[in-house]
Structure 1
Amino acid sequence: MNIQNCELADIPAILRLYQAARDLQIERKMVVWPHFDDSFVQKEIEEGRQWKLVKDNEIACNWAIAYNDQEIWGDQDQNDGVYIHRICTNPNFRGNGYIHDIVVWAKEHAEQKGKTYIRLDTLGNNQKLIKHYTSAGFDFLGVFNLSDTASLPKHYQDEPDCLLFELKLW
């Protein structure tokens, strides 16, 4: 298993993973991610913010990061966190607990960047995800209504309940 930055050549595979995630979200009656276009993913890759966990020469898991997230975290964002977005597991690798590997990686990455927190969010009151993220060490901070979602992807505009999770490094 190997964690590394995504490359432009990974865009088709990432978009397939996003579609598999949308299919699962529809099946489980969850908040469904919008379609992200190539240019959106390309920009994140060029900025070094798309990551992948590779196993057996295949992307087993993919996620994006940010170093600020004012629209979601408001005043809690003090330039002190790594924000994880769109964790997406390849259907062939689901059930392997990759969130724990992502957390180990994120702790190291956050320390290298001088950050104090690892943060993530999800939409809808999803009890299974609450349990999943808290089992990986995140504190569940509660359900919040986002006030200004105009610059966020569409699914944030359609769903009022935003669940916030935080892991403090020290």
Structure 2
Amino acid sequence: MEMEVASMNDLKSIKYLYTTVTNSLRKNGVYQWDIFYPNIIVIGRDLKKGHLHALINDGICVAAVVMNEEQSSKYSGLPWSDKKGRPAVIHRLAVHPGSQGKGIGKQILLYAEEMAISKGYTSIRLDAYTANTKAITMYERANYSTVGQIQYPFRKYPYLCFEKMLNANEPNDIGM
């Protein structure tokens, strides 16, 4: 299995992945996603733009991540280190609950970092729901620095914003 740019043919499988992950998170008291987000419209837009990358095994989406340059307006007041470069932004990284704990999240992060470097990005930014301690730990172990926090509507807890500077001359070590 390898990460690849997903297509509209994968829409149903990817939507199922996000629904399954959302249900698992909620069962564990993590309310970062719901029936309204991520939705079929958001996923479809990501697919049409070629921003959604997936790990597909026998037609089943095991994991997915979106990477583009779209930043929340809430990011504007944060003290980012990369002030003059070209940051990539990671959105909606998800691993099927049945495949978690196998290093797939780490693989996806490394894939995103390598892709960002190859496209000339100078850093990666992302946010993670503070109640999702597994995600927070993964980003911290991958040497992402906490920049600050933001609050999204209808969410009880804030999101931590992370940044990782990229250097095309050095191999990425995501420290796990």
TM-score bin, normalised by smaller chain: 0.7 to 0.9
Matched, 1:29 2:29: yes
Tell me the TM-score normalized by structure 1.
0.81
Structure 2: state its 5+ residue gaps. Answer: 168-176
- 1:63–1:84 contact (8 Å) kept in structure 2: yes
Matched, 1:163 2:169: no
- 1:30–1:124 contact (8 Å) kept in structure 2: no
**32 and 68 in structure 1: CA distance in 2 versus 1, 3 angstrom threshold:** closer
Tell me the TM-score normalized by structure 2.
0.79
RMSD: 2.2
- 1:125–1:163 contact (8 Å) kept in structure 2: no
Number of matched pairs: 160
22-31 or 128-137, larger mean C-alpha shift: 128-137
Cα offset for 1:53? 1.7
Q: What is the CA deviation profile of residues 96-155 of structure 1, one whole-angstrom value per residue up to 9, with x for unaligned ones?
A: 12222122211221122211111211123443332121112322334x234xxxxxxxxx
Which has the larger share of helix?
A: 1
- Matched with 1:41 is 43
Matched, 1:145 2:147: no
Cα offset for 1:79? 6.2
- 1:53–1:60 contact (8 Å) kept in structure 2: yes
Q: Which runs of structure 2 are paired with 1:53-64 in the superposition (5 Å)?
A: 53-55=55-57, 58-64=60-66
Instruction: Output the amino acid matched with 2:64.
Output: N
- 1:68–1:81 contact (8 Å) kept in structure 2: no
Identity %: 23
**65 and 139 in structure 1: CA distance in 2 versus 1, 3 angstrom threshold:** same
Structure 1: state its 5+ residue gaps. Answer: 147-155
- 1:82–1:118 contact (8 Å) kept in structure 2: yes
**72 and 7 in structure 1: CA distance in 2 versus 1, 3 angstrom threshold:** same
129-138 or 32-41, larger mean C-alpha shift: 32-41
Q: Structure 1: how far apart are the matches of 2:40 and 2:131?
A: 29
Cα offset for 1:4? 0.5
- Matched with 1:17 is 17
**104 and 145 in structure 1: CA distance in 2 versus 1, 3 angstrom threshold:** closer
Q: Structure 1: how far apart are the matches of 2:45 and 2:164?
A: 27
